[in-house]
Structures are given as structure tokens and as C-alpha cells.
Amino acid sequence: MKTIAAAKFKEGCLALLDQLDADGLVITKRGRPVARVLPFAAEPGSLIGVLAGKVKVRGDLLSTGSRWSAADGEP
């Protein structure tokens, strides 16, 4: 993780944010860490609907294709 003095961070804040890597950045004041800047991690989205319009359904999704009777226990 990179370390930078608060004054230097103030000078180049926007450029530093553009260059921010996954490890982040520690900001120091008089050599002591006072803050840590980390990239914002987007929350994982829902998987529901992700493949909408990309998958074709053929047949009945709720059927196994086998015929059976619960009354006599045999197919």
C-alpha cells in the first residue's frame, strides 16, 4: 500500500484518485497514518435477470420429462 503525506495528497488529490489501485493509499500527517483511501467496491448485483434475452427456453422447465404416478409409486 502506498503512503503519502497529507500536503502532497491535497496537491494532487484528483490525480491520485484516478491512479488508485486495489491496495489503496495511506495518508500521513507528520509521519503518522491518519486516513486510508480505498477504491469503492461495487456491491455484487443480483443474478436474477442477468441472462434476460440471452437464453432461449425449450420445453417445460418444471418437467423432468418422465411420467409417473404418486398413487402406485411406479413410473
Sorted by where each begins, the domain ranges of the chain are 2-37
Report helix, strand or coil for 38: coil
User: Who wins on pLDDT, 4 or 59?
Assistant: 4
pLDDT tens-digit series, residues 21-51: 989 999 999 999 999 999 987 666 677 777 7
Closest CA to 20 of 46, 43, 44, 1: 1
* Cβ 61 vs Cβ 67: under 8 Å: no
* Cβ proximity of 4 and 29 under 8 Å: no
Give me the pLDDT at residue 19, please: 92
